[in-house]
């Protein structure tokens, strides 16, 4: 099995399967626990906490899907079947064609929790088929996949019913002191315009993947809209259709305003389709849709910020968080003051609102990074930011944005181990958030891990082509340190942030290295209007931002050549 295409390129799943089968065959199956798997298979430390790190549950879900794919593909004629029942990690073995074959494995979301007797989902449909030796007819494959799709939908319906955050009933109503309402996304079943059984299976599977991917973005309430159920009166509806022509499949997706039925966003995806690639296509399209719709600066954000700006005097928490996103585009000191005060009022009246703590972390950090709006008598802003980030993690421990706030604070406090640990967790919780990938990658690169950080930044740019200008910062510095000053200059120009002092630092040092004293002098004049004292603390400023020592000296050299008088 481990040499098959389904497992050969999946080292973690292979290690997981090898471990649990070996332990069971050698008589230690009853002792297989999540903690032991995390430590022995995935290299987690001895103080591993299953409550905050769900890696074993997530990988178990992936392993169940891989087993289902294996028995539909390379293992279609295997006489012995291995099942990993939900609710535990000890495998069960069946002879093919026995009275109790294992049921098809539902495509669980990565956030699926272990089963408990009190909260069991509805039983998964069982498709019992016994093919002739070595032969798996097409109809059997299709019946099996139908079972998988139905099981996935059954699980999602149960999950929506059991988890309060995904309940569609009155999603915009909040009690006094409750967290502010989050936008609701109802994912409708895709219309199968082709009408074939294969297309129906693909459409159901894609709908399930869309719910799973959107649920990674904790700023939203996401649920599956059952066929025939009434349309929601507020929030958003994600709908689409599927057409199949020859070897090609076309999926058209639309995001609709539930109240007005106005189209907020639309995209068409054309893919070459076959049974072997069906799951991969579903995953790819679901990820692309989730990024376009739910990411910061995505379709819903752009829509919501326009709505929020129509009420500029309201200081409700949700509006404050949206204004924080807008502030991060400009980094204007006046905006920083307004948003910081707004968020502090929010947490005073609603201390359980995790998103406000997440955003406030960065507002405090900007006091340290930019010397914005420092108040006399306040403690070190990094310590206040650390407390805010810890509060965010305690309130929303499965939200990637909480760990993004935490890794940022660790970085500026000089705790690189904590920074990398929290950064890896943020990426694991939501690998499709471009801001997290760009920010974490930029910090890794600037601190000296260029080979590790730059691919993350470039991936973030691919995920969000309309990215903010700060994404280019590590590209500027990477080209500069390598002596490719033309590329550095081009990336500075792409930042398009003329009100930010660091842009003019980059212009000045690059022109200085290129020998263009006139343009270098012009950049320094602009820098002097934005930060008159930069020359007095240039090294301190760069060290504050976590620049590696060698990078600091390279930047200082360019600034000297530009004509900046430095206080050494």
| Neighbour-count burial of 478, counting CB atoms closer than 10 A to its CB (0-12 exposed, 13-18 middle, 19+ buried) | buried
Give the residue extent of every domain in the chain.
1-151, 163-169+179-294, 311-423, 431-568
Provide the total of helices (H) and of strands (E) in the chain, helices listed first.
22, 8
The two domains 163-169+179-294 and 311-423 share their CATH topology (first three levels equal): no
Amino acid 444: pLDDT: 96
Given a contact cutoff of 8 angstroms between Cβ atoms, the answer to whether 409 and 361 are in contact is yes
Does residue 263 contact residue 214 with C-beta atoms inside 8 Å? no
Per-residue pLDDT tens digits for 262-316: 888 888 898 887 767 778 888 889 988 988 888 876 788 767 754 554 333 344 6
Please check the confidence at residue 507 and state whether its pLDDT lies above 80. Answer: yes
Using the structure block, give the residue that is written with the tokens 């006139």.
518
Do 297 and 325 contact (CB within 8 A), yes or no? yes
CATH 3.40.50.10610 fits 163-169+179-294, yes or no: yes
- pLDDT tens-digit readout, 191-247: 888 777 878 888 888 998 899 888 888 778 898 888 888 888 888 999 999 988 778
Phi/psi of residue 473, each to 5°? -55, -50
Give me Rg for the CA atoms of the chain.
Answer: 26
The pLDDT value recorded for residue 406 is 95
Nearest to 207 by CA among 231, 244, 242: 242
Fold classification of 431-568 (topology level): 1.25.40
Cα separation, 478 vs 322, whole angstroms: 32
The Cα 402–Cα 433 span in angstroms is 13
Distance CA 547, CA 556 (A): 12
Which are the contacts of 111, defined by CB distance < 8 A and separation ≥ 6? 54, 58, 212, 215, 216, 398
Task: Report the SS3 class of residue 27.
Answer: coil
Instruction: Find, among 329, 337, 266, the residue nearest to 467 by Cα.
Output: 329
Give backbone dihedrals phi and psi of 298, rounded to 5 degrees, phi first: -80, -170
Q: Any idea which architecture 311-423 has in CATH?
A: Alpha Horseshoe (1.25)
Q: What is the pLDDT of residue 233?
A: 84
Q: Are 346 and 317 in contact (CB under 8 A)?
A: yes
CA dihedral 508, 514, 516, 519 (to 10 degrees): -30
pLDDT at 310: 37
Distance of CA 422 to the CA centre of its chain: 13
């Amino acid at each position: 099995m481990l040499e098959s295409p389904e497992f050969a390129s999946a080292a973690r799943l292979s290690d997981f399967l090898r471990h649990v089968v070996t332990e069971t065959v050698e008589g230690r199956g009853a002792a297989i626990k999540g903690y032991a798997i995390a430590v022995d298979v995935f290299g987690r430390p001895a103080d591993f906490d299953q409550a905050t790190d769900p890696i074993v549950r997530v990988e178990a879900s992936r392993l169940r899907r891989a087993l289902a794919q294996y028995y539909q593909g390379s293992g279609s004629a295997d006489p012995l079947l291995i099942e990993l029942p939900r609710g535990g990690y000890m495998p069960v073995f069946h002879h093919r064609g026995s009275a109790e074959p294992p049921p098809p494995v539902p495509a669980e979301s990565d956030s699926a929790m272990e089963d408990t007797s009190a909260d069991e989902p509805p039983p998964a449909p069982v498709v019992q088929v016994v093919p002739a030796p070595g032969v798996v007819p097409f109809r059997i494959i299709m019946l099996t996949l139908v079972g998988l799709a139905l099981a996935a939908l059954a699980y999602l319906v149960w999950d929506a019913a059991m988890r309060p955050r995904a309940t569609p009933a009155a999603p915009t109503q909040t009690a006094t002191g409750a967290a502010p309402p989050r936008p609701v996304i109802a994912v409708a079943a895709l219309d199968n315009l082709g009408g074939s059984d294969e297309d129906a299976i693909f459409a159901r599977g894609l709908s399930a993947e869309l719910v799973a991917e959107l649920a990674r973005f904790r700023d939203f309430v996401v649920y599956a809209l059952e066929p025939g159920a009434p349309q929601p009166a507020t929030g958003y509806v994600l709908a689409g259709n599927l057409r199949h022509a020859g070897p090609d499949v076309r999926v058209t997706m639309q995001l609709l305003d539930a109240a007005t039925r106005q189209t907020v966003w639309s995209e068409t995806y054309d893919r070459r389709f076959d049974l072997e690639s069906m799951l991969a296509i579903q995953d790819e399209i679901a990820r692309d849709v989730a990024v376009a719709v739910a990411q910061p600066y995505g379709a819903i954000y752009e829509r919501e910020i326009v709505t929020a700006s129509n009420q500029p005097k309201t200081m409700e928490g949700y509006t404050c968080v949206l204004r924080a996103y807008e502030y991060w585009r400009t980094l204007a000191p006046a905006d920083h003051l307004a948003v910081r005060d707004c968020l502090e009022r929010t947490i005073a009246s609603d201390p359980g609102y995790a998103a406000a703590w997440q955003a406030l972390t960065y507002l405090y950090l900007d006091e340290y990074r930019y010397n914005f709006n420092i108040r006399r008598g306040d403690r070190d802003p990094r310590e206040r930011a650390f407390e805010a980030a810890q509060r965010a993690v305690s309130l929303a421990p499965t939200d990637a944005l909480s760990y993004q706030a935490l890794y940022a604070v660790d970085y500026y406090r000089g705790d690189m181990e904590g920074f990398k640990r929290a950064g890896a967790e943020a990426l694991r919780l939501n690998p499709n958030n471009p801001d997290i990938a760009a920010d974490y990658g930029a910090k890794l690169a600037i601190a000296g891990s260029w080979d590790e950080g730059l691919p993350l930044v470039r991936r973030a740019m691919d995920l969000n082509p309309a990215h903010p200008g700060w994404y280019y910062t590590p590209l500027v510095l990477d080209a500069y340190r390598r002596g490719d000053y033309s590329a550095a200059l081009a990336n500075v120009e792409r930042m398009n942030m003329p009100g930010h002092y660091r842009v003019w630092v980059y212009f000045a040092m690059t022109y200085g290295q290129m020998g263009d004293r006139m343009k270098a002098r012009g950049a320094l004049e602009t820098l002097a209007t934005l930060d008159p004292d930069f020359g007095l603390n240039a090294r301190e400023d760069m060290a504050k931002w976590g620049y590696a020592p060698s990078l600091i000296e390279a930047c200082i050299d360019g600034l000297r050549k530009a004509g900046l008088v430095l206080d050494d």
